[in-house]
Chain A
Amino acid sequence: MAHSADALHHDDSATVKEIWKVTGILSLLTIVELILGFWMMGISSTGMIMTIKGSIVILMIAKAFYIVAYFMHLKHEVKNLIMTIVVPLALFIWFIIAFLYEGNSYKDLKNRYDPYKKQQTEIKVQKNEEVKESKKSAE
């Protein structure tokens, strides 16, 4: 125990430094995400929006990695422990693909076999502000 305390002191400043470094990275990633988010508002091309959304998802996963690896200290655990936690998460891959594929297919089926519903969803309604404004003018 005695020599472990020694080594901890030795590690101390390095660990604290690491914590602040990771804080910086997380903030940076968040800011980049926000910039992308703001940028996306002014874009109308679907392909571009999808690309930005994809990048945001990648940044999200990077953030998750930094939180788990450094804040939750997983990177400094024994390799086997890391494996028991990371490997089962691979189940999410098929979980996500199957569910989203199914959602998309459900939409297509509905649109094909229930054209009335599809038409209904295409009717444009007054925008919120317009509604509010018309209410105000009515008052």
Chain B
Amino acid sequence: MSTITTTVAPTKLWGGGKSPFNVEYGKLMMWYFLMSDAFTFGAFLIAYGTTRFASNGWPNPNEVFRSFPFAPEGVHAPLVFVSVMTFILIISSVTMVLAVHAGKKMDKQAVVKNLILTIIGGIAFLSCQAWEWNHLHNEGAWWGANPFLNADGSQSLNHFTNFFFTITGFHGFHVLSGVVINIVMLIMTLTDKFEQRGHYLMIEKAGLYWHFVDLVWVFVFTCFYLI
């Protein structure tokens, strides 16, 4: 099998009359859309990096993000809450892969189950983010307002909060639209739209988008909370 593909495929693939990548146009467009979105986020994060490199001081994230819901006042738990958020997103990504996989097998029940789990994961992530934003806002942080000091104890500029809210906000917006897309997918699955079409390729595209959201979080998480 493998010899056939490697010897015949290259010339035939590009010969016209079919997709050179063996994918339908929708998936191709989704991939290239994600590429372009990667440049949007890339530009944001690079702008953040540039500004950070241009600043004399920067707040220590461990002193900023150290709260946890329902934790008593004065208990500092840096990195814990964001780890929970990260795992929520990873798990929701796994359920999404399973949904896509089930779609390939035309297993409607498994698709429905895993989509619901993914949607729950997405909503959970958004709730966490809402809590964190609310908490930071109560501490006085917002666009144009930064109550935190630099790591070295000097007065900090507003860049830290400005970038934090802008970029996590933009990411959260992506999560939100991902949840909406997944809900649409769920409804389409429940109404047998894909059964009628004979394939679940739409789920695959929604899955690509969802994983991309997860992927961006990997970068946002690292850039804002860890380093």
A residues with CB within 8 A of B = 8-9, 12, 15-16, 19-20, 23, 26-27, 30, 33-34, 36-38, 41, 53, 56-57, 60, 63-64, 67-68, 70-73, 77-78, 80-81, 84-85, 88-89, 92, 95-96, 99-100, 102-104, 106-107, 110-111, 118, 120-125, 127-128
Interface SS of chain B: helix, strand, loop or mixed?
A: helix
**Contact between chains at B148 and A128 (CB < 8 Å):** yes
Bound: A97/B129 CA distance, A? 31
CB distance from A17 to the nearest CB of B (A): 11
Contact partners of A9 in chain B: CB under 8 A: 105
| Interface size range of chain B in the complex | 35 or more
**Contact between chains at A34 and B155 (CB < 8 Å):** no
Instruction: Say if the beta carbon of B185 comes within 8 Å of chain A.
Output: no
Bound: A70/B40 CA distance, A? 23
**Contact between chains at A85 and B31 (CB < 8 Å):** yes
**Contact between chains at B54 and A103 (CB < 8 Å):** yes
**Contact between chains at B101 and A15 (CB < 8 Å):** yes
Instruction: Say if the beta carbon of B90 comes within 8 Å of chain A.
Output: yes
**Contact between chains at A125 and B79 (CB < 8 Å):** no
Q: From A86, which residue of chain B is reached at the shortest CB distance?
A: B35
CB distance from B161 to the nearest CB of A (A): 14
**Contact between chains at B49 and A12 (CB < 8 Å):** no
Bound: A127/B211 CA distance, A? 40
Interface SS of chain A: helix, strand, loop or mixed?
A: helix
**Contact between chains at A77 and B218 (CB < 8 Å):** no
Partner of B154, one of A60, A124, A128: A124
Bound: A19/B226 CA distance, A? 26
Contact partners of B52 in chain A: CB under 8 A: 103
Bound: A80/B28 CA distance, A? 12
Partner of A125, one of B21, B101, B155: B155
Q: Which of B92-100, B130-138, B169-177, B189-197 contacts A (4 or more CB under 8 A)?
A: B92-100
A23-B90, A81-B21, A128-B63 given; A103·B154 CB < 8 A: no
**Contact between chains at B215 and A104 (CB < 8 Å):** no
**Contact between chains at A125 and B104 (CB < 8 Å):** no
**Contact between chains at A33 and B154 (CB < 8 Å):** no
Show 22 residue pairs from A and B whose CB-CB distance is below 8 angstroms, ordered by the A residue: A9-B105, A19-B98, A27-B87, A30-B87, A30-B90, A60-B219, A64-B218, A67-B93, A68-B211, A72-B211, A77-B22, A78-B9, A80-B13, A103-B52, A107-B55, A111-B56, A121-B154, A122-B154, A123-B155, A125-B154, A127-B153, A128-B147
A34-B83, A92-B42, A127-B149 given; A16·B101 CB < 8 A: yes
**Contact between chains at A95 and B56 (CB < 8 Å):** no
When each residue 195-216 of chain B gets 1 if its CB lies under 8 Å from chain A and 0 otherwise, what string results? 0000000000001100110110
A27-B90, A78-B21 given; A103·B218 CB < 8 A: no
Bound: A56/B105 CA distance, A? 38
CB distance from B137 to the nearest CB of A (A): 16
A19-B97, A56-B227 given; A78·B13 CB < 8 A: yes
**Contact between chains at B20 and A99 (CB < 8 Å):** no
Instruction: Say if the beta carbon of B180 comes within 8 Å of chain A.
Output: no
A30-B83, A34-B79 given; A8·B105 CB < 8 A: yes
Bound: A102/B51 CA distance, A? 10
